[in-house]
Copies of this chain bind each other. A is one copy, B any other.
Amino acid sequence: MNIICLQENLKKALNIVERIIGRNLTLPILNNLLLSVENNKLKISSTNLEIGINHWIPCKIKEKGSITIPAKLINDFINNLPNEKVELKIKNKQLELKCKKFKSVLNGLSASDFPIIPKIESQPLVSIKNNLLKNSFAQVVEMASISESRPEISGVYMKFYKNTIKLAATDSFRLAEKNIEINSKELKEQSIIIPQRTVLEIIRILGEKEGQEEEIKIALSNNQILFDFNSTQVISRLIDGQYPDYQQIIPSNSQTEIVIDRVELINNIKVASLFTGKVNDIKMFIDPGKSIIEISSKNTDVGENKSKIEADIKGNEVEVIFNYRYILDGLNNIYSDKVIIGLNDNVKPVLIRPVGDLSYSYVVMPIKV
């Protein structure tokens, strides 16, 4: 390899591919990035054996070749160089770098030992705008279960229909569902489960590219998923298993319906959270007569709190207990000023939705007393 590229492009590329790399003591090559020349570009790849990332940047090629270099080292190195041309040259299994008045030699490992990142050659199923995909993933990803005992709910469920993609995630205490409208008449109905880590990486990479509008193409093959967008490919394994039939849990009607200011509700719950017990319990008393929700909590060691919020309330009076964290997670993933909360009694699932946006549903189970 003997190529020249710009420091700025290298820096951006390294930032995109480097983050999935941990510290692997048993397989040191996983700490490295693979640098190779492909399609007249420099291709930089990383993998943690579950997720692989490829990123291509323009360069001037004098000689092809490939090598792997410790990710942290080359990232720190390139970050501190001036924004000038960088010459990269392989010499005796080392990478020689020159930039203005800097000259360095980085020890590498052979490219042939680098794990193969699967290639997905199949046609993309669908393409989605980057911001829509990022925001939709962000609204559900943290509800996925962190426990390993039920791997099928440890990821984000993605179901493709002709005109819609449904995303869902749950840890059995609460559930989020997001519908993305698409226009793809040939799409075959099918569903997959994407590991939470993969979805978090996609959100991160799309966040770093913010500003540019682009289309993300999604393709599937052999239990692998490909997210393909401008110069970057993320390839991930999928989770095997049957996702629970969660649709039956989302309540279709409600005895009590509340319309309430989202930020005010968040603030009152945060205050109440300071006085909760071991199960993070806060009590909500919904009073349609006074058009008021009263939130209260008590901890004998700490003290107690009571607060009131005005709200539009239709239907029955009800008193219900929640884990405050689960309510906050839902409210924090809604972007409207007001939310609609639908309840039936103090044990049945509760539905929270943004006012004026039917694409998002958040369901939370009350704490039974």
- Residues on the B chain within 8 Å of A105, using CB: 303-305
Q: Assess the A104–B304 pair: CB atoms within 8 A.
A: yes
The B-contacting residues of A in range 62-116, CB under 8 angstroms, are: 70, 73, 76-77, 80-82, 94, 101-107
How often does this chain occur in the complex, in copies? Answer: 2
The B-contacting residues of A in range 287-324, CB under 8 angstroms, are: 301-309
Q: Which of B80, B267, B301, B309 contacts A80 (CB 8 A)?
A: B267
- Residues on the B chain within 8 Å of A103, using CB: 305-307
Residues of chain A whose beta carbon lies under 8 Å from any beta carbon of chain B: 70, 73, 76-77, 80-82, 94, 101-107, 267-268, 270-271, 274-275, 301-309
Q: Which of B76, B271, B301, B306 contacts A77 (CB 8 A)?
A: B271
- Residues on the B chain within 8 Å of A307, using CB: 101-103
Q: Which of B70, B270, B306 contacts A104 (CB 8 A)?
A: B306
Q: Assess the B271–A303 pair: CB atoms within 8 A.
A: no
| 16 pairs, CB–CB < 8 Å, chain A vs chain B | A77-B271, A80-B270, A80-B274, A101-B308, A101-B309, A102-B268, A102-B305, A103-B306, A103-B307, A104-B271, A104-B275, A104-B304, A104-B305, A105-B303, A107-B301, A107-B302
- Residues on the B chain within 8 Å of A309, using CB: 101
- Residues on the B chain within 8 Å of A94, using CB: 303
